[in-house]
Amino acid sequence: MSPERGGDGPLITGELAAAEVSVSAATIRKWVQLGHLAAAGRQGRRHLYRLEDVFAAERTARRRPGKDGGGMARAAAAG
């Protein structure tokens, strides 16, 4: 089964979502746990996410550095 296209854009795996916003897959899972990101579908056992939802979760994490940014605050301070 291939990723489906929802009405709001393509659905991507958590690994691809992480790569798109330069975070780890663990950060994607943390965003889901914190309610910043929700799965929009499934492909077998994998959760799928809308790319625009991933970008929105990243923006939320960047506004709240140190809380749930998955190390983004440290990376921004170092770079």
CATH for the 5-69 domain, from 1.10.150.120, 1.20.1370.20, 3.40.50.360, 1.10.1660.10 = 1.10.1660.10
pTM above 0.85, yes or no: no
Query: What pLDDT, in 10s, does the model give residues 17-38?
Result: 999 999 999 999 999 999 999 9
Q: Nearest to residue 52, comparing CAs of 63, 71, 5, 1?
A: 5
> What is the reported pLDDT for 8?
67
> What is the reported pLDDT for 12?
97
> What is the reported pLDDT for 2?
47
Q: Nearest to residue 57, comparing CAs of 23, 11, 15?
A: 23
Residue 1 has pLDDT above 50, yes or no: no
